[in-house]
Amino acid sequence: MWSRPQKAPRQTLTLERIVTEAVALLDEEGVGRLTMRRLAERLDTGSTTLYWHVKTKEDVLDLALDAVFCEVPLPEEADAWDTPVRELMTGWRAALLRHPWSATILDRPLMGPNALQRTESLYETLTTAGFPTPKTAAHALSNYVTGSVIAQVTWQSTDRFVRDRAAQYPSLAEHGLDHDWDTTFAQGLDYLLIGMAQAREGGF
């Protein structure tokens, strides 16, 4: 009785396989070409079969997005509060950039277990760091990361377009061209962290 397997060991097609393959498909061909049929084909099955494991296509996207967050390393404790924060935000950004399609679906609730775990970690760090309003600080940080990733992915995808219009819009060209995205991100993050630290000392 007790040694009996809990569930049917059938499982030729599992949710996990679906998600893995969906991420692979998204990585290779982008969000515009993710189709239930194409995904099913890659899994050597019919599209109907997918709908037994998943209710809608949006479920697939939600799962794929949360799978990306799984790649974000959870920082260890450190003496300075800003060290783990910087780590978390940098890893967060890196994971999203590794899967550029994720930037275009960041407009959906990040409520997968992996995403929640990262948010939780951020809150915890800020709270133990003594911020009176960790909620505000957490929002500022995650919003900045989200915006940064979207901006970078967008501009990189239209590099050619901008280059053609560089003469017409000089500061547009400067805004999006030959851009060291990493250092710009880090610098902006520093702005935020400096401001946060100063505000905390001021007690608000």
Partner DNA sequence: CCATCCACTAGACCATCGATCCAGTGACTG
Partner DNA sequence: CAGTCACTGGATCGATGGTCTAGTGGATGG
Q: Is 12 in the site for DNA (CB under 7 A)?
A: yes
C-alpha 55/C-alpha 52 separation (Å) is: 7
157 binds DNA (CB under 7 A): no
Q: Does 108 bind DNA (CB under 7 A)?
A: no
Please return the burial class of 179, using the count of CB atoms within 10 Å of its CB with bins 0-12, 13-18 and 19+.
middle
d(CA 46, CA 118): 35
Q: Which of residues 34-73 bind DNA (CB under 7 A)?
A: 34-38, 40, 44-49, 51-53, 55-58
φ/ψ (deg, to 5) at 86: -60, -45
Select from a second copy, DNA, none the partner in contact with residue 45, using the beta carbon and a kind-dependent cut-off of 5 to 8 Å.
DNA
CA distance 102 to 66: 10
Q: Which is nearer to a second copy, 48 or 183 (CB)?
A: 183
Please give the Cα distance from 152 to 102 (Å, whole number).
12
Q: Which of 145, 170, 173, 175 is nearest to 160 (CA)?
A: 173
C-alpha span between 31 and 69 (Å, rounded): 17
Q: Does 184 bind a second copy (CB under 8 A)?
A: yes
Interaction of residue 114 with a second copy, rule CB under 8 A: no
Q: How many residues bind DNA (CB under 7 A)?
A: 27
CA distance linking residue 38 with residue 43, whole number of Å: 9
Residues in 123-162 that interact with a second copy by CB under 8 A: 123, 133, 135-140, 142-148, 150-151, 153-155, 157-158, 161-162
Q: Which one, 40 or 72, has the nearer CB to DNA?
A: 40
169 binds, among DNA, a second copy, none (CB under 5 to 8 A by kind): a second copy
Q: Which residue has the tokens 């996207």?
A: 61
Contacts with a second copy by CB under 8 A lie at 103-104, 106-111, 116, 119-120, 123, 133, 135-140, 142-148, 150-151, 153-155, 157-158, 161-162, 165, 169, 171-172, 174-175, 179, 184, 187-188, 190-196, 198-199
